[in-house]
Structure 1
Amino acid sequence: MSRPMRTIEVDDEVFAYLQRHGEPLVDSPNDVLRRLLLNGATPPADQARRPGALMYILEAGLLQPGDELEHHQPRLRQTHTAKVTADGWVELPDGRAFPRPSPALKVQTGSEINGWGQYTHVRSGRRLQELRNEASIPAGPEEGS
């Protein structure tokens, strides 16, 4: 099902920004805007970002900034990695950062997936969900996010 397309005008500076954040010959300006605005990716540098969902686990001392996270897909023979930022976000190897694990892992795998249950903290060998439970962080309305 195709969505209706609207025409918008952007100035040269915005267009250059879209080009810098798109994959050449793959992404359209709409793809870049969709990824940046709708997928929970890192806000523009001029906007302060709120602490991410991992912040409470960092404060509990169960994670450290720079710690690596991994998700293995044995059938596909793929391993996805990410790092924990000092403000509790999940940062992908390409520099994109997400406030919650599930949207980050969705970008890496291409499908809806529970990042809390699937990312493993490399240093401890434990799932993020286990660390969240130990830090006594309530799951809240976005259990799987």
Structure 2
Amino acid sequence: MTVTDTLIAPAAAASATTAAVLVEVDGRTAGNDALHAAIEEALRRGAPLRVLTTWAARHREMYDATAVVERDRLSAAQLERRLTRALRRSPDLDVQSIDGYHSATEYLAAQPESVQMLVLAADHPVSAELQEVLDRAGCAVLACDRRQ
């Protein structure tokens, strides 16, 4: 397995001490790969890691109410296990899980100065709206494809 991580937008002069590495996690395998890349990038940069969880909206589209609750619980537990392992290896890593946003686009529109790098799965759609928000925020984007 080779790793193909592609920097698709240069970083602006964001403050590394305050701006975070943001990753959107939706419970898919590609999102998990992006999470691992974001952890590595946050450690390399000495930056806080913010994990935006967006699986709930996807679950509501796919399952009935009872199944949504169970899928959300399982997804949250899976994320917690991954973050716990990362914190065991790097106890100084500042990690926060974020919910309440439907996408990285929405989060960046609301908090443009808070992110120095956005890490996305390679199959994440880059819409015109996301591109516009990225241009305003001036943050770098790392597209992560660990399956090639």
What interval of TM-score do these two structures reach, taking the shorter chain for normalisation?
under 0.3
State the TM-score, normalizing by the size of structure 2: 0.27
More strand by share: 2
User: Higher relative contact order by CA 8 Å / sep ≥ 6: 1 or 2?
Assistant: 2
More helix by share: 2
State the TM-score, normalizing by the size of structure 1: 0.28
